[in-house]
Amino acid sequence: MVVFSELWLSTGKNYYTADRPLQLFLKYIGFKGDEDLHRLGHYVSTKMMETSYWIDRYARPTLRKWGTTGHEVNYVQVSHDHLLTLYDLFNFGVVSKSLNNGKNLTYHFVSGYIISDAGIFCTITVTEQTAYALMKYGDEELRDRFLPYFLRQERPWMGATFYTETSAGSDLGSIETVAEMNRGRWRLRGLKYFTSNVGLADAAIVTAKPVQAASGAKGVATFFATARRDDGSPNWRVLRLKEKLGTNTVPTGEVELQDAEAYPLGALGHGIYVALEVLTIARIDNSIAGLGLARKALWEAALYGSQRRAFGKRLIEHPLYLRDLVEMESRLQANLLLSLVAAKAFNDAADEVPPYSGSYHYARLLTHVTKNMAAWTSIELTRYAMELMGGIGFLEEFPMAKIHRDSLVTAIWEGTSNVQSLDLAEVFFRKGIGELLMEELGARISALEDREVRDSLSEMFESEVKSVIGTAIAEGAELHAKYLLERLGLLLSSLHYQRWAEHASRETGENWPLALSKVYLYSAVMKRNVSSGLVRQAGEGLSWIFDS
């Protein structure tokens, strides 16, 4: 019998335990996994990958607006395997373990790297956001009534976030959805243009402006709304589903709110902060899951190169192919570590409420940087992994094409690079986090053991980062914000990667961490050539791919 491993070579690998760099990074940040993550790594490889590939190609969600008796039902139909996969994933604790005792958000973020399918994990992300906001900002009565639905074992509730409108994407201050108190109940009216997980969601987080609220972002309030009213009738209408380039394993559509019943989350005047805090979870998810896509693509390209022969030897035996893999691996590892550092920082500050402390804003800054770095890394690595596999990588009959299509959204969802740049500038200059970050960067660069790396990053810090900060202060931050975002991303990823490599080499006695870190510095940060000896040494860091 022909099996899926004929189409996807890493089938059967454990995407959690067999990923040695991931295991080293998690130990480094102090995260300890459990048996559920072990089982999840096997489940994704052996079951979820084939199911998500099949959904993307042959079983995309479909909207059925009308029932047989002529009434509007707004039924988003998905395959039985689609639903079963989602419920299987929830049973691994990918949402519940972040809400129960301990509230470990890092567990949720790590699960995103393992799952990484941009559509499937989008359903999990928006469910996490919905439950998180309900738990943290809902009043006691609201929590007691609805939170248990998200935590139950059998058919737990799913969530959604209804933010985007035709005139308001990242600019939440421009939303036109209205919230009005009527007969003792908040009711929402408006059109939400881009709503992921629509039709599957049992509840949603919705942004709206109360009547006579302040203009702009200060007037935004955040609400919790269920898909059904108290009388059982639909609380919103699904107008249509979107046709998308990728992420076809999550239904995305347009929703009309017609006096939808809703409950405020937190103080009305703090609605914009609640909405953006919820969005921060999705930005971290976006970063780590995007890199999970890159990991799967690179794993596949490496296995393909170990079997495919050309010009008398295996592709992996050609120095140029090995160099490609080594440079891609260094980029993936550097940005995965930075994403995990950002995830841990947010997890540690997640108990804070507005007005936030410097720790929360520092975590926010890291989130903006890593979201941008991870998205671009995911897109480029999945694209080049396709190229390394030649025509096979380009064919839709194999999963690699889907992985690249899905990666493209990571630079768009939860704010484009321009939006991340503006948000970075706001927290860097207006919240005063820039000064704190500069002090930390200077101290950590000086503490590096490798003189060459230390001098290179110190030069970049002084001549590029400090220079653009001075220009931004003199000319205005907006024009220069993206360059600052890019420079900080390269500096932070290389710095954290080198600190880890020095630690790992001392702990394990292996040289490949230092070699890969230097490959990243040369190829991605400094745009310099790398030597054959360095490539060979760094290549030892890929041996786990073939041994697992």
- Tell me, letter by letter, the H, E, C secondary structure of 163-191: CCECCECCCHHHCCCEEEEECCEEEEEEE
Under 8 Å between Cβ of 205 and 129 = yes
**Which of 207, 242, 269 delimits the end of a domain?**
269
Decide which of 269, 293, 311 is a domain's last residue: 269
Query: Is the sign of the CA dihedral 432, 439, 346, 278 positive or negative?
Result: positive
Q: Is residue 380 part of a domain?
A: yes
Residues in a beta bridge with 195: 253
pLDDT in tens, 61-109: 999 999 999 888 889 999 999 999 999 999 999 999 998 765 789 999 9
Q: Are residues 258 and 281 in the same domain?
A: no
SS3 label, residue 260: strand
Question: Could you tell me if 256 and 285 lie in one domain?
Answer: no
Residue among 276, 139, 206 at smallest CA distance from 147: 139
Same domain, yes or no, for 176 and 92? Answer: no
Bridge-based pairing state of the strands 313-314 and 72-77 = unpaired
Query: Among 98, 124, 151, which residue terminates a domain?
Result: 151
The pLDDT, as a whole number, for residue 102 is 59
- Can you give the CATH number for the domain in which 328 is found? 1.20.140.10
Same domain for 166 and 218, yes or no, is yes
- The DSSP string of 271-328 is HHHHHHHHHHHHHHHHHHHHHHHHHHHHHHHHHHHHH-EETTEEGGGSHHHHHHHHHH
Which residue bears the tokens 């990571």?
410
Same domain, 64 and 82: yes
* CATH code, 129: 1.10.540
Return the amino acid letter for 143: R
The three-state secondary structure class of 200 is coil
Residues 405 and 330 in one domain: yes
Q: What is the pTM of this model?
A: 0.97
**60 is written with which tokens?**
């995309």
**398 and 278 share one domain:** yes
> What's the pLDDT at 379?
98
Answer yes or no: do 59 and 141 share one domain: yes
Phi-psi region of 93 (alpha: psi -120 to 50; beta: other; left: phi over 0): left
* 474 part of a folded domain: no
Count of structural domains within the chain:
3
Q: Which residues pair with 225 in a beta bridge?
A: 204
Give me the CATH number covering residue 167: 2.40.110.20
Residue 61 maps to a domain: yes
Instruction: Tell me how far apart the alpha carbons of residues 246 and 290 are, in angstroms, rounded to a whole number.
Output: 13
Q: Is residue 426 part of a domain?
A: no
Q: Which residues of the chain, if any, have pLDDT below 70?
A: 101-102
Same domain for 78 and 119, yes or no, is: yes
Do 176 and 197 belong to one domain? yes
CA distances from 139 to 136, 195, 223, 269, 386 (A): 8, 25, 12, 16, 49
Task: Let me know the angle formed at the C-alpha of 335 by 106 and 389, rounded to the nearest 5 degrees.
Answer: 115
The verdict on residue 508 lying in a domain is yes
User: Rounded distance, CA 401 to CA 158, Å?
Assistant: 28
Q: Which residues of 360-399 are buried (b: 16+ CB within 10 A; e: fewer)?
A: bbbbbbbbbbbbbbbbbbbbebbbbbbebbeebbeeeebb
Q: Residue 16 corresponds to which tokens in the numbers above?
A: 């959690």
Virtual CA dihedral for 416, 387, 339, 112, nearest 10 degrees? 90
| Res 21: pLDDT | 98
Are residues 380 and 259 part of one domain? no
Q: Which domain holds residue 218?
A: 161-269
Q: Judge whether 485 lies within some domain.
A: no
- 128 with 206, same domain: the answer is no
Residue with tokens 């007037």: 219
Within a domain: residue 421?
no
Classify 69 as helix, strand or coil: coil
Confirm whether 142 is domain-assigned: yes
Residue with tokens 């693509």: 297
